[in-house]
Amino acid sequence: MSVRRVVPNVHVQTEGLDRSREFYGLLGFEEVMNLGWIMTLASPSTPAAQVSFLTEDATAPVVPDMSIEVDDVDAAYAAVGARGAEIVHPLRDEEWGVRRFFVRDPDGRVVNVLSHR
């Protein structure tokens, strides 16, 4: 299994999406995704350099602290499950084109592990 990218997730209020887009635009980021509850900004020169801003999560009980895109989310799910890690949100296909699950790391952070379908 290999990691494709790691994206920090910042929990904001609804009006924070616009403020974040404007502020991080000053640093060269551009909006690459906006579903109304999550917005991702990326560097045009380095597209994998990204940050996401979430007001909530559409299907999960919490906003994750970071997202890690892997090439095989099913293998990642099996690996963390075998180690007894706490699954916060079960493995599932989401309507916006990802397969994902949330797991709690040893220090309590929630990690969204995903693959694009």
6 φ/ψ angles, rounded to the nearest 5 degrees: -125, 130
Strands (E), 23-109: 30-34, 38-42, 50-54, 66-70, 87-93, 98-104
Predicted confidence at residue 114, as pLDDT, reads 98
Q: Domains for the chain: give ranges and CATH numbers.
A: 3-116 (3.10.180.10)
| pLDDT tens digits for range 23-59 | 999 999 999 999 999 999 999 999 999 999 999 999 9
Given a contact cutoff of 8 angstroms between Cβ atoms, the answer to whether 51 and 30 are in contact is: no
Predicted confidence at residue 55, as pLDDT, reads 96
| pLDDT tens digits for range 39-48 | 999 999 999 9
Helix (H) or strand (E) holding 10: strand 3-11
Tell me the sheet residues that pair with 100: 92, 114
